[in-house]
Amino acid sequence: MEKIFLKKDLGKSLEEYDFPGLKNALNMEPQQVINKIKESGLRGRGGAGFPTGIKWETVLSIEDDTKFIICNADEGEPGTFKDRFLLENLPFKVLEGIIISGYATGSKYGYIYIRGEYVEAIKIVKKAIEKLYEKNILGENILNSDFSFDLKLVRGAGAYVCGDETSLINSIEGDRGKSRIKPPLPVFEGLYGKPTVVNNVETLAAAAEIMNYDNNPYSEMGTEKSRGTKLVSISGDVNKPGVYEVEFGKLTVRDIVQELAGGVKGEKIGFVIPGGISTEALTEEELDVPYTYENLQKMGSNIGSGGMIVVSSQRNYLEIVKNVSDFFRDETCGTCFPCREGNKNISKIVSDIYKRGYPTSKEIEIISDIQYAVSSAARCGFGESSLNLILSLFEKFYTKKVEV
């Protein structure tokens, strides 16, 4: 089976790309489009992995004149750059996915929220939106159909937490990017209190590709619970870092590192962070796991955003722990007390450990307690996952049980 993203359409201009997925969708009823997405088994590619078709169906089922689609292009997870790749190389496919989701859910308005640091992607997408208006692929009566859809680009301004869907909604509304209490879920009360679909860039590009076919080749790829393909961005101590498309279940994490990314730079792999710094690390011995949602979950980790970071055994894992804890300290939105204070205190404790060179068992206990408090009391995915990597590294590398 041909891969979805990386072997086709790359570099195609608007003149060459004729929006086959959108054309197919417009010839179907919205519910039929949703059925096709459901059959494909597509799950959200931003990190949470929620079934896309169900999200769309919920919004379609709500009667309201005003509904919104938001494309979440606020990719800020360290190690993750696959959305930037899509925005810069396949902007039309991403926009096509946004318009299709608008049609399928009965929404007339869309936003694409791109992080402010992605200046090149912003330029490219801005221009692509203008072109789509010229070609009547956006605006009134798209491609002479009854469907009208407007799309605006909003730039983020440097806040990692805005990748959380409720923080992102607050940010578009002109507020600080602080998360909202759920429920209500954005599908019921999202942007300006209206039903809102928030989908990741890769999810929408995949949806456009799924609509491209009469049959459903996407559902034939992968495993039962992890269908299709995933863009994996690989960085760190590897010989060939970059973005690779992986069919779920075909390769193990070790294969991805060895065969796609050219193997480790250094003696041997120390550990791999499989899905960005919110996901638990896998040690060298744990890498023979097939790359699927279910298998990584079995290992106590996650596909996350697909940002794989490889760390050689010659590195000091405490330097990574310190870097990551400083990151979460700086990027919490500060609204929830446990997340704000928890991440601050972890960063202090980790700083002491880093200076000393090893943790004490008391420190590990405190970190574990704080992790429990933060992950169970936080409103959004930020707090829920901020300490996953740190704790997993201590669990797996804290071998010198030194009492002080």
Partner 1 sequence: MEKYYEKELLEELHDIQETYGFISEEDILRISQKRDIPKAQLYGVISFYSMLHLEPTGKYIVRVCDSVSCRLNESAALVKALKDYLKVGENETTKDKKFTLEVVECLGHCDEGPVMMVNDTYYTHLTVTKALQILDSLE
Q: Can residue 77 be called a binding residue for partner 1 (CB under 8 A)?
A: yes
Contacts (CB under 8 A) with partner 1, residues 102-131 = 109, 115-120
Residue 169 Cα distances to 46, 69, 156, 329, angstroms: 16, 11, 11, 22
Which residue in the set 18, 330, 352, 369 belongs to the binding site for partner 1 (CB under 8 A)? Answer: 330
Planar angle of CA 13, 211, 105, nearest 5 degrees: 105
Q: What track of x and - describes contact with partner 1 for positions 232 through 261 (by CB under 8 A)?
A: -xxxxx---xxx------------------
Q: Can residue 81 be called a binding residue for partner 1 (CB under 8 A)?
A: yes
Q: CA–CA separation, 139 vs 326, rounded Å?
A: 44
Q: Can residue 180 be called a binding residue for partner 1 (CB under 8 A)?
A: no
Q: Can residue 75 be called a binding residue for partner 1 (CB under 8 A)?
A: yes
Q: Can residue 163 be called a binding residue for partner 1 (CB under 8 A)?
A: no
Q: CA–CA separation, 348 vs 337, rounded Å?
A: 17
Q: Please, what is the minimum distance in Å from the beta carbon of residue 242 to partner 1?
A: 5
Nearer to partner 1, 204 or 333 (CB): 333
Q: CA–CA separation, 138 vs 290, rounded Å?
A: 41
Query: Do the bridges between strand 307-312 and strand 269-273 make them parallel or antiparallel, or are there none, so unpaired?
Result: antiparallel
Q: Can residue 379 be called a binding residue for partner 1 (CB under 8 A)?
A: no
Q: Can residue 79 be called a binding residue for partner 1 (CB under 8 A)?
A: yes
Crossing angle for the helix pair 337-356 and 317-331, to the nearest 10 degrees = 150
What is the identity of the amino acid at 116? G
Q: Can residue 262 be called a binding residue for partner 1 (CB under 8 A)?
A: no
Q: CA–CA separation, 41 vs 135, rounded Å?
A: 32
Of 98-106, 209-217, 303-311, 378-386, which segment contacts partner 1 by CB under 8 A?
303-311
Which residue in the set 95, 137, 282, 311 belongs to the binding site for partner 1 (CB under 8 A)? Answer: 311
Distance of CA 376 to the CA centre of its chain: 21
Q: Can residue 5 be called a binding residue for partner 1 (CB under 8 A)?
A: no
DSSP 3-state assignment of 87? helix
Q: Can residue 160 be called a binding residue for partner 1 (CB under 8 A)?
A: yes
Burial of 28 (0-12, 13-18, 19+ CB in 10 A): middle
Q: Please, what is the minimum distance in Å from the beta carbon of residue 321 to partner 1?
A: 10
Q: Which residues bind partner 1 (CB under 8 A)?
A: 66, 75-81, 84, 109, 115-120, 150, 152, 154-160, 171-177, 191-192, 233-237, 241-243, 273, 277, 307, 309, 311, 315, 319-320, 323-324, 327, 330-331, 333
